[in-house]
Amino acid sequence: MSLLFLLAPMLLWLMPLASTLGHSSPECISRKTIPYHKDNGHLFSKKGVWNYSTMLLREDLGLLLLGARDVIYALDLDNISNKNASVEWEVPTTKQTECKKKGKDGEIHCKNYIRILHTMNDGRMYVCGTNAFDPECDIMSYKDGRLTLEKKEEDGKGKCPFSPFQSYASIMVGDDLYSATSMNFLGSEPVVMRSSSVSIRTEFKSSWLNEPSFISMAQMPESENSKEGDDDKVYLFFNEIALEYDSYSKLMVPRVARVCKGDLGGQRTLQKRWTSFLKAMVDCPVLESRLPFTVQGTYLFCDPQEPLEGCLFYAVFTPQQADLSDLTAVCVYRVSDISALFSKGKYKNSLPVETSYMKWVMYSGEVPSPRPGACIDNEARKQGITQTLDLPDRTLQFIKDRPLMDQAVLPVGEGPLLVRRGAAFLRIIVNGVKAVDGQKYNVVFIGTESGTMVKAVQCDGKMFIIEEVELFPSREPVKVLKLSEVKGQLYAGSVSVAVQVPLATCGRSLSCVDCVLARDPYCAWDKTTSKCISHLNVQRKLIQSVTEGDASLCPASDTVKPVNESIWLRGNLRLPCPPPSNLAVVSWQMDSLPLPLSNHLQVSADSLLIFNASESHAGRYRCLSLERSQAGDYTTVVADYQVRLAPGEAGRPSPQARQDGLSLAGLQAALGIVAILLAALLCWNFYSGHLPLPCKRGSGEESGYGSTPPHAGLEGGKKHTGHGISATNGENVSLHTPRPLQHIADESEI
């Protein structure tokens, strides 16, 4: 009993401690860990209903549309525990039987998993489901408190996956659906398509899409104020098996692709196919990893007050399975960098090497005009080409054979914004917040594999993790994450529940120092009410310091009132002192002097233990917490005890509950075990290299997988690290990729 009581909190506490030791910067430790509690937010789940993985925000209706298995819900945006309406969309029995006949599981596969939920121009909604391996789409409306499906029975092939386990991504632009998924039962025919009056899709060729897993889509209105008369674009993130690297095993690479909205396909070549499908590798170089990390989720962030050129893609990455690390990363890309790479970069070209084998190298020959893969712009219009149907065959044939760019897209700062060891990052959302100082800060919300939400603020190109909150009652991966700025709420879904949590819970900070050290741009300390509050819509002067965490701005804190405790002679006593944050270092004072540690006084994670007390143990005990921020070190008193010796000896009935019956031998044994565990934990940490983990980007160093190409090539021949594109192409230095994976940099070398 006493052992457990001692060990459980101690071990929990040792983990962050052990990982603090090696760091100068605390960026990868979340300042607070908030365990699941039903009062953290609102929860929605229905018995027997699973897979809450599709969400659509309808702020105009005050609703959250939630697509699950065989059903769609309309929930109250203010409190998703309130269901306003629902509509069932089940698979007809005949179709179920058919599905089972094909060897599929009735309970798992032969159901209707809602995969697409978008708003159309007229306010109705477009919805598609897997429908027992026969994807179907329909139109849904919300009227007079009711959700209704129009039962259009539209073919969902190419829009929605067949299997609930196949990947998908989609976006609605006007009334045109852009979708990326698999066209067939087996999942072997990947497609990126636009369903509109003229449907356009990808060519079925492995150089276009090779065993892809689709992640996300976003649209960019790049025609706005474009000097080149450019078109709007739709971007797609996915992972696929790379064709361009020699490797014995399949190597997955993260990609970004884009198409132009005005694309109508070619006249003869590429008829009803994209003429503007271009793709490139997205690099998120994590130093420790040999293999490229794969993308799991992205978010297009545009500051509404800034020009569109400033838009950014935030993306989360995880290692490939073969790569047994537990690192996970955030990388940020400028849309303008991606756009420039597609409009100015070099293409990759395939050449046959040794009869049956194809090698992908940089294309250094002549590029036809109009530029292959470009949208129709002023340049093309000058040549009399006003639509893709007018494009010459030369341009079309070129892009049909070479949709891949030679260079990779590099993140802002050429490295990750955040690298952390722990639960894999799966989803990401970014919100720009104006702080009390009038500055805008980007706050990042990340959904993880273990069902937590990591909240971090970006300052001077660095991340500070404010907190990590457990979202769900069980540790399920976050499948979907949405943010409503209007409501100030975040919505997350997993296989068994959907939850809603506020963007900020300032009330968790009870002191000014804690409120300021949290560096949460949503929260500030109000001197008049002595509360940490959300500063939006508050006119009073409030205390906040997002960039530095300058807690010296706080008024002299109210001293913690001393608590009276008494102890028997030879008795034992526990004085609790929970550390206020994961970054705080707690220490004890006795009568204003550092605590003299002895057999009688032992400090644990969240308390001080006095045992076999003598007269000398009576006195004033204070627990201090020291937390460091960029602005300085701040010490606060967390707990204050006045301990008096009670007359008599231990063994008589205990005068209070705290004076629990811990035996001295038990305590010493417990502490001995803890000491051994701590030593073992530290050894393990050093051994497994956990301690020297960099949280910030490694300043310009080569990534591990860049300098050592994965699985030495079949040729095993030349290795080029610094990729010499400047030798052949001096036009855009910013497009350099310092870490190509290929072994041959240029086709002239073959």
Ligand X SMILES: *[C@@H]1O[C@H](CO)[C@@H](O)[C@H](O)[C@H]1NC(C)=O
**Which span (73-81, 262-270, 573-581, 713-721) binds ligand X, by CB under 6 A?**
73-81
Name every residue whose Cβ is closer than 8 Å to that of residue 382 and which is 6 or more positions away in sequence. Answer: none
Runs of H (alpha helix) within 24-156:
93-101
The answer to the question of residue 612 lying near ligand X (CB under 6 A) is yes
The answer to the question of residue 84 lying near ligand X (CB under 6 A) is yes
Site for ligand X in 16-55 (CB under 6 A): 42, 50-51
Residue 24, judged by CB atoms within 10 A of its CB (0-12, 13-18, 19+), counts as: exposed
The answer to the question of residue 495 lying near ligand X (CB under 6 A) is yes
Q: Which is nearer to ligand X, 67 or 579 (CB)?
A: 67
Name every residue whose Cβ is closer than 8 Å to that of residue 723 and which is 6 or more positions away in sequence. Answer: 407, 736, 737, 738, 739, 740, 745
The answer to the question of residue 76 lying near ligand X (CB under 6 A) is yes
The answer to the question of residue 566 lying near ligand X (CB under 6 A) is no
Q: Which of 193, 211, 190, 209 is nearest to 201 (CA)?
A: 193
Q: Which is nearer to ligand X, 620 or 718 (CB)?
A: 620
**Which span (56-64, 304-312, 457-465, 546-554) binds ligand X, by CB under 6 A?**
56-64
Q: How far is the CB of 221 from ligand X (least distance, A)?
A: 30
Q: Which is nearer to ligand X, 493 or 740 (CB)?
A: 493
Candidate residues 8, 21, 22, 79; the one interacting with ligand X per rule CB under 6 A: 79
Q: How far is the CB of 613 from ligand X (least distance, A)?
A: 9
Q: How far is the CB of 570 from ligand X (least distance, A)?
A: 6
Q: Which of 340, 338, 346 is nearest to 367 (CA)?
A: 346
Q: How far is the CB of 254 from ligand X (least distance, A)?
A: 22
Site for ligand X in 240-269 (CB under 6 A): none
Q: Which is nearer to ligand X, 165 or 684 (CB)?
A: 165
Q: Which is nearer to ligand X, 11 or 61 (CB)?
A: 61
Strands of the sheet with 593-594, listed across from one edge: 563-569, 632-649, 619-629, 585-590, 593-594
Site for ligand X in 352-411 (CB under 6 A): none
Q: Which is nearer to ligand X, 276 or 572 (CB)?
A: 572
Candidate residues 82, 439, 552, 557; the one interacting with ligand X per rule CB under 6 A: 82
185/592 Cα distance (integer angstroms): 74
Site for ligand X in 622-641 (CB under 6 A): none
Q: How far is the CB of 7 from ligand X (least distance, A)?
A: 21
456/32 Cα distance (integer angstroms): 11
**Which span (17-25, 60-68, 382-390, 695-703) binds ligand X, by CB under 6 A?**
60-68
CA torsion, points 375, 378, 379, 385, in degrees to nearest 10?
70
Give CA separation, 626 vs 17, 528, 550, in Å.
14, 26, 14
Q: How far is the CB of 79 from ligand X (least distance, A)?
A: 4
The answer to the question of residue 664 lying near ligand X (CB under 6 A) is yes
DSSP designation for 748: G
The answer to the question of residue 564 lying near ligand X (CB under 6 A) is yes
The answer to the question of residue 187 lying near ligand X (CB under 6 A) is no
Q: Which is nearer to ligand X, 421 or 570 (CB)?
A: 570
39/412 Cα distance (integer angstroms): 38
Residue 699, judged by CB atoms within 10 A of its CB (0-12, 13-18, 19+), counts as: exposed
Q: Which is nearer to ligand X, 666 or 704 (CB)?
A: 666
- 262: which strand partners? none
The answer to the question of residue 199 lying near ligand X (CB under 6 A) is no
Q: How far is the CB of 62 from ligand X (least distance, A)?
A: 5
The answer to the question of residue 420 lying near ligand X (CB under 6 A) is no
749/746 Cα distance (integer angstroms): 6
Runs of H (alpha helix) within 587-708:
664-687, 704-707
Q: Which is nearer to ligand X, 84 or 630 (CB)?
A: 84
- Quick one: tokens of 424? 């894999």
**Which span (58-66, 321-329, 464-472, 515-523) binds ligand X, by CB under 6 A?**
58-66
In this structure, the chain runs to a length of 750
730/165 Cα distance (integer angstroms): 45
- Quick one: tokens of 600? 């009688």
Q: Which is nearer to ligand X, 10 or 63 (CB)?
A: 63
Q: Which is nearer to ligand X, 202 or 602 (CB)?
A: 602
149/88 Cα distance (integer angstroms): 9
CA 108-114-119 angle, 5° bins: 175
The answer to the question of residue 3 lying near ligand X (CB under 6 A) is no
Beta strands in 169-232 (DSSP E): 169-173, 176-182, 190-195, 200-201, 213-220
Site for ligand X in 155-184 (CB under 6 A): 164-165
Candidate residues 474, 552, 614, 616; the one interacting with ligand X per rule CB under 6 A: 614
Candidate residues 35, 48, 103, 145; the one interacting with ligand X per rule CB under 6 A: 145
322/249 Cα distance (integer angstroms): 10
Q: How far is the CB of 117 from ligand X (least distance, A)?
A: 16
Candidate residues 9, 23, 46, 62; the one interacting with ligand X per rule CB under 6 A: 62
Beta-strand pair 252-260/233-241: antiparallel
Say how many residues touch ligand X, by CB under 6 A.
Answer: 21
Q: How far is the CB of 133 from ligand X (least distance, A)?
A: 13
Residues that bind ligand X (CB under 6 A): 42, 50-51, 61-63, 76, 79, 81-82, 84, 145, 164-165, 495-496, 564, 570, 612, 614, 664
